[in-house]
Amino acid sequence: MTGSRGDRSGVRLAVVVAVMILLATACAPRYANGPPKLPDDAIRFQLSYSKAFDRIVQTLEEGGYDLVVADRENGIIETRPRVLKGDAAPGGPFDYRTFLSIRVGAGWRDAWAVVHLLLVPGYPKEQERVLQQLQEGLSRP
């Protein structure tokens, strides 16, 4: 009888080990051909996701950008428009408004970010003219 009890505990142990191996295999990320492919313009960081996210936010703030969104959970960072003075152009000085939209994610062994920069040219004199037209149009009876 003691022999059968020892056999049962050995079988139980084997079943537990097999279940643990199956769970570990099922829960492990599947990188059959290496880590997932990132966009070509992705920047890689040899940092954890949280450290990379924090450093990106800090760098933007130090660079004079005001943040509209810094959503760590979804990996999204967006800035308010920032005016940059450009070259002179017909119609007045030529300014740019810059917006940054950054997607941050966790890589296989590191973190990554994709930065989208939107530059919108602006003519301050044209903006003044449009605002004046709107004010005149709204003040009509």
User: Domain residue spans in the chain?
Assistant: 1-30, 39-139
CATH architecture of the domain with residue range 39-139? 2-Layer Sandwich (3.30)
Q: Which residue has the higher pLDDT, 8 or 65?
A: 65
Residue 88 backbone phi and psi in degrees, to 5: -70, 145
pLDDT value at 31 more than 50: no
pLDDT 10s digits, 82-96? 877 765 544 556 677
**If you average pLDDT over residues 41-69, what whole number do you get?**
91
pLDDT 10s digits, 104-123? 998 777 888 888 888 777 76
Q: Which residues of 86-118 are buried (b: 16+ CB within 10 A; e: fewer)?
A: eeeeeeeeebbeebbebbbbebeeebbbbeeee
3 state DSSP class of 86:
strand
pLDDT value at 69 more than 80: yes
What lies within 8 Å, CB to CB, of 34 at 6+ separation is 108
pLDDT value at 39 more than 50: yes
Task: Kindly list the distances between the CA atom of residue 62 and the CA atoms of 2, 65, 67, in Å, as whole numbers in the listed order.
Answer: 73, 7, 11
Here the tokens at position 77 are 């960072």
Residue 74 backbone phi and psi in degrees, to 5: -100, 0
Q: Work out the percent of the chain whose per-residue pLDDT is above 90.
A: 22
Which pLDDT value is given to residue 37? Answer: 73
